[in-house]
Chain A
Amino acid sequence: MHPLAQRIVAFGAARVSGLSAPSALGLIPALTLLAMLGPVGAGVLGTVLPAFGYLPAAGLSTLSFDPIIALFDWPGLTAAVRLSATTGLVATSLSLGIVTLTLAGWHGTRPFRMLERLLSPLLSVPHAATAFGLAFLVAPSGWLSRLASPLTGWDRPPDLLIVQDRWGLTLTAGMVAKEVPFLLLMTLSALGQADAPRRMRVAQALGYGRITGWLKTVFPAVYAQIRLPVYVVLAYSMSVVDVAIILGPSTPPSLSVQIVQWMSDPDLSRRLTAAAAALLQGALVFAALALWRAMEFVVARLGCLWVERGNRGVADPVLRPLGLVLGLLSALAILAGLLGLAVWSFAGFWAFPDAMPQELSFRNWNRYLPGILTASGTTALIAILATGLALVLVLGCLESEYRSGRGLTQRGLWLIYLPLLVPQTAFLPGLQTLLLSLGADKALWAVVLVHLVFVLPYVFLSLGDPWRAWDRRNGTVAAVLGASFWGVMWRVRLPMLLRPIVTTAAVAFAVSVGQYLPTLLVGGGRVQTLTTEAVALASGGDRRAIGVYAVAQTLAVLLPFILALSLPAIIWRNRRGLHG
């Protein structure tokens, strides 16, 4: 046989049989699943048992439905459930809508590159800091009201319920502002594989407007790739704790906040109610996901009708500026909030309605800097280890999947997705008990492993789709030219996928830095990161302390994002196609 033909046949056979994949590589998927699902499974079990009355440590060991009855007895349940559901669904729809409109109207333009540069670093801003910044911006005694006071004549803030409103509107707005950068970054890294320019060229050649053309030709391909990140946003928005405490109502609070409050009640039997509520929270998230999935079918059907009607885009002139305004607004909300916190970090006394503090000094910074430096070291170490491990595992999984030709099944995808769907409050206390009984808590590596549980899904979600969308024919061509499996990986696939890989690493880093409950519970409080320190200080509501830590956190995770945006362009400056 001709050598070239031999190679092609061998390559195809290897892909089908998977026999030539080294066995170590073959073990990685199993190892990864174990790292992600073992802790969740053990933790969930530690939740299900108390939900039915079994918590031996508190001397409670009679199985019963009492905790569930107690939960349904709570008068705030209806409002709390409604709040979780509306916040999740509305925040996800709005975030997706804003990202889609912005991309459709402006991708590839100069204003878009500006917006991208604004939004990307915002992903790293911790949720709690974003929420505090926003609260300071929009509260009746907030910055906007202060700036407007010369016009309104307010010397006292008006008694208006803006922050913590009963309908959770401010909470929803806060979630949207925080999730838009995440979805935008996910969508951008997926766009590279969606062949958008050619689709757009065809659409525009047929006379479609920019937005209509993008929605009809590019959006379906992109949405298929960002579906999982969208689900993550939905599940997260429904079960978020820190943002809901700061921006959400408290009479009653959202279900997840109430769970945390029951968990910390001195009356140990409340933990049973908390466990029952955690199960309900899990069920709610799954119901909302099912609803979203159903809506996808409806939208797809309506979308097809819309596509077939051939409308070229009369609404485009309105939608295009709207997309940019909304995108800018969500970026500005976070930036202005952060700026407000930055000013607070230097503030002496700052009375209403002054737009600026009476004096600025380094007093607050001097006070907190020693703690920040210590915590930054720990934070970075944990984040680097968790990110590195996650990248190795996920790249191993994807490579093994590629070589064996066995793609991830739909069921496998849901498994990966599980740690992000199960509310943290539902499985972390159970997980803590497991680690304790193994004598493996309090150590830095245990914290790294638990961070890995949360980092892995994000890495999978953000890397899996671009990886699978990579054109296999590149590999075939390289193999034909004599490259081995490893050669194809190191010299063709990884370089071509550098952009999604570094973006993913930056996301993973930010995810690790942002972890509060896992760090606190597994670290036993002994592992102190910027986030655990910040949340502890935040409970005191001192905007100066919050300001210093928010700025420190943002600075600490800004670097990976700058690298993620600039590395591909620097490394492949002479290969434009590799960083498009």
Chain B
Amino acid sequence: MIRLSNTLPLIAALMAPLPALSADLDPSDWDAVLEQAQGQTVYWHAWGGSTATNDFITWIGQQVAEQGVTLEHVKLSDTADAVSRVLNEKQAGQDEDSAVDMIWINGPNFAAMKDAGLLYGPFAEQLPNWQYVDTTGKSVQSDFTVATEGYESPWAMAQVVYMYDSADMVPQHSAEAILEWAKANPGRFTYPQPPDFLGSTFLKQTLIELTDNTEVLLRPADQADYAAVTAPLWDYLDALTPVLWRSGSAYPASGPAQLQLMADNEIDLAISFSPGEASTAIANFQLPDTVRTFVLEKGTLGNASYVAIPYNSGSKAGALVVANALLSPQAQARAQDPAILGYGTVLAMDKLSDEDRATFAALDLGIATLSPAELGTALPEPNPSWMTLITDDWTRRYGAGQ
């Protein structure tokens, strides 16, 4: 192993026709990174379905422009488009200048890309602003139980909350309570259709609620009795589906599509992976101002949003500058402002300067956002294999017209 890692840079140097910029790039030599980043254009492939996020990315672009980097937001309708892109580039031998310089990535896509050797790194822990990151209190070094090993950099914390219309219902603090409420109010609840990310999250959240042994979920599913562990989930869904919106014949396509259903008063309850989403949506006229949020008594799933850099990006230095800018206290405070984005920060308050800490403290979290104390326990994500299996199983049971 040691010998291999010694010879790798040599092989890379031999194979590169020109002094390869990326091979020389050392994220810990930040001055050199800044110098290389001058004039680079970073194409950040990020989901473009949320206006609030798009505006925030535009603002980040203005910040990095001051450091000589141009940021272009490539608005995706599906993160997998960027993954396929890099995959096709590898297949075609395009190893130098990818169309993708940075991806807003989620757990399963990260695991797939890291396995296939499609990512650049490690870089995250060498970023200057990493010093502020809360590495003890927040799970920013593992993504769906997969160790990130510096191959992706966190930029926002997410935790499952349930949005409800307080004009129509009161909070229900457990999966069982939600089922009872749904039976009493048929047609007023739904969730995004798996394999949508948030829909799968609903399945995982419910599974964690219903299973007695959450430890088993942290290990790959093939090391457990899958059928026995998931049986309570299917019993639950068999009871829930007939009283869902449209009796479970149709589902909203994505998380934001639920907002529209709530605004249309088609449903009263919806899941969200962002504690501040409801407040932001109210500010954007996307939700009625009677919407509030609640969490479950036993806690809800939490994870971080990450950015990763493809192995073949032609603007890695620029991408590092953007990743670093996302971690700046200024950007993090802006992201947490519900009038802007309402995303939880990944920074540790005790690592910040007094002035920055005051900025965070002064933020009004918004009308529908729970305080960090009210948010309660953030549960760890199950191993990705569980998500794959229960999503497939869901599709067989409820998504194929059986």
Q: Are A524 and B253 in contact (CB under 8 A)?
A: no
Given A157-B265, A349-B285: A525 and B112 interface contact (C-beta under 8 Å): no
| The one of A349, A434, A525, A536 that contacts B263, using a Cβ cutoff of 8 Å | A349
> For the complex, is B28 an interface residue (Cβ under 8 Å from A)?
no
**Cβ A528 vs Cβ B75 within 8 A:** yes
What's the minimum C-beta distance from B225 to chain A, rounded to whole angstroms? 22
Of B75, B82, B250, the residue contacting A536 (CB under 8 A) is B75
Stretch at the interface among B30-38, B203-211, B254-262, B364-372: B254-262
The one of A75, A159, A249, A349 that contacts B396, using a Cβ cutoff of 8 Å: A75
With a CB–CB cut-off of 8 A, which chain A residues contact B55?
Answer: 367
Q: Please give the distance in Å from A536's CB to the nearest CB on chain B.
A: 4
The interface residues of chain A, by DSSP majority, are classed as loop
> CB-CB contacts of A222-252 with B at 8 A, as 1s and 0s?
0000000000000000000000010001111
Q: Report whether B401 and A526 are in contact in the complex, using a CB–CB cutoff of 8 Å.
A: no
Interface contact A252-B399, CB-CB below 8 Å = yes
Complex Cα gap A544–B49 (Å): 12
CA distance A536 to B109 in the complex (A): 19
Q: What per-residue 1/0 map shows which CB atoms of B372-402 lie under 8 Å from chain A?
A: 0000000000000000100000011011111
Least Cβ distance of A107 to chain B in Å?
41
A537 near B48: Cβ-Cβ < 8 Å: yes
Question: Is the CB of B90 closer than 8 A to any CB of chain A?
Answer: yes
A286 to B365 alpha-carbon distance, docked (Å): 57
Q: How far is the CB of B191 from chain A (nearest CB, A)?
A: 13
Q: A159-B186, A267-B388, A540-B49 are in contact. Are A535 and B400 (CB under 8 A)?
A: no
B78 touches A539 (CB 8 A): yes
* Closest B residue to A441 using CB positions: B99
The verdict on A574 contacting chain B, using a C-beta distance below 8 Å, is no
B253 touches A57 (CB 8 A): no
Question: Contact flags (1/0) for A43-59 with B, using CB distance below 8 Å?
Answer: 00000000000001111
B61-102 Cβ-contact flags toward A at 8 Å (1 or 0):
000000000001011111011111101111111100001100
Taking the complex as formed, is A313 at the interface, i.e. its CB lies under 8 A from any CB of chain B? Answer: no
Tell me, yes or no, whether A39 is within 8 Å of chain B by CB. Answer: no
Is the CB–CB distance between B80 and A351 below 8 Å? Answer: no
Task: From B80, B87, B93, B288, give the contact of A437 (CB < 8 A).
Answer: B93
B334 at the interface (CB under 8 A from A): no
Contact A76 B401 (CB under 8 A): yes
Residue B128, interface by CB 8 Å:
no
Give the residue name and chain of the B residue nearest to A79 (CB).
Answer: B401
With A250-B251, A352-B265 known to touch, is A347 a contact of B285 (CB < 8 Å)?
Answer: yes
Q: Smallest distance from the beta carbon of B182 to chain A beta carbons, Å?
A: 12
Please tell me the size bucket of the interface on A: 35 or more
Contacts of A347 in B (CB 8 A): 285
Whether B263 pairs with A251 at a CB distance below 8 angstroms is no
Question: Which partner residue on chain B sits nearest A540 by CB separation?
Answer: B49
- Once A79-B401, A541-B254 are accepted as A-B contacts, the answer to whether A56 and B91 lie under 8 Å apart by CB is yes
CA distance A340 to B111 in the complex (A): 42
Q: How far, in angstroms, from A351 to B399 measured CA to CA in the complex? A: 30
- Give A441 to B400 CA distance when docked, in angstroms: 37
Q: Which of A251, A367, A533 has the most chain B CB within a 10 Å cutoff?
A: A251
Complex interface: chain A residues within 8 A of B252 (CB):
541
Q: Does A141 contact B (CB under 8 A)?
A: yes
Q: Which of A367, A437, A528, A539 has the most CB of B within 10 A?
A: A539
The residue that A75 contacts in the complex, of B108, B260, B400, with Cβ under 8 A, is B400
- Tell me whether A507 is interfacial, beta carbon within 8 Å: no
A22 in the interface, Cβ–Cβ < 8 Å?
no
B151 lies within 8 A of chain A by Cβ: no
Bound CA span A533–B49, Å: 10
Choose one: B72, B83, B99, B246; the contact of A266 (CB below 8 Å). Answer: B83
* A319, CB-defined interface residue at 8 Å: no
CB distance from A414 to the nearest CB of B (A): 29
- B51 an interface residue at 8 Å Cβ cutoff? yes
Q: Establish whether residues B82 and A525, one from each chain, have CB atoms under 8 Å apart when the complex forms.
A: yes
CB distance from B85 to the nearest CB of A (A): 6
Pick out which of these stretches binds chain B: A211-219, A257-265, A388-396, A495-503. Answer: A257-265
Q: Nearest-CB distance from B238 to chain A (Å)?
A: 15
A157 and B402 contacting across the interface, CB-CB below 8 Å: no
Closest to A546 in B: B260
Q: A residues within 8 A CB of B48?
A: 533, 536-537, 539-540
Instruction: Specify the chain B residue showing the minimal Cβ separation from A271.
Output: B84
B266 proximal to A (CB < 8 A): yes
Identify the closest chain B residue to A55 (Cβ): B91
Given A367-B51, A520-B81, A536-B77, A250 contacting B193 (CB threshold 8 A): yes
* A548–chain B nearest beta-carbon distance, Å: 10
| Given contact pairs A57-B91, A159-B246, A540-B49, A251 touches B399 in the complex (Cβ within 8 A) | yes
Among A74, A264, A521, A538, chain B packs the most CB atoms within 10 A around the CB of: A264
Interchain CB contact under 8 A, B92 and A164:
no
Verify B112–A266 contact, CB threshold 8 A: yes
- B187 at the binding interface (Cβ < 8 Å): yes
A542 within 8 Å of B (CB atoms) = yes
B187–A540 CB distance below 8 A: no
A210 and B279 CA atoms in complex are apart in Å by 62
Question: Can you give 7 contacting A-B residue pairs, CB < 8 Å?
Answer: A79-B401, A155-B265, A264-B81, A528-B74, A540-B256, A541-B253, A544-B286
Residues of chain A whose beta carbon lies under 8 Å from any beta carbon of chain B:
56-59, 74-76, 79, 139-141, 155-157, 159, 161, 163-166, 245, 249-252, 261, 263-268, 347-352, 367, 429, 432-434, 436-437, 439, 441-442, 520-521, 524-526, 528, 532-533, 535-545
Q: A352-B264, A352-B265, A539-B48 are in contact. List 13 more A-B contacts (CB 8 A).
A: A57-B91, A155-B265, A156-B266, A159-B247, A251-B251, A263-B84, A349-B289, A429-B84, A433-B88, A436-B94, A536-B76, A536-B77, A537-B75
What are the nearest 6 A-B pairs in CB distance? A524-B99, A540-B49, A57-B91, A76-B400, A264-B80, A436-B92
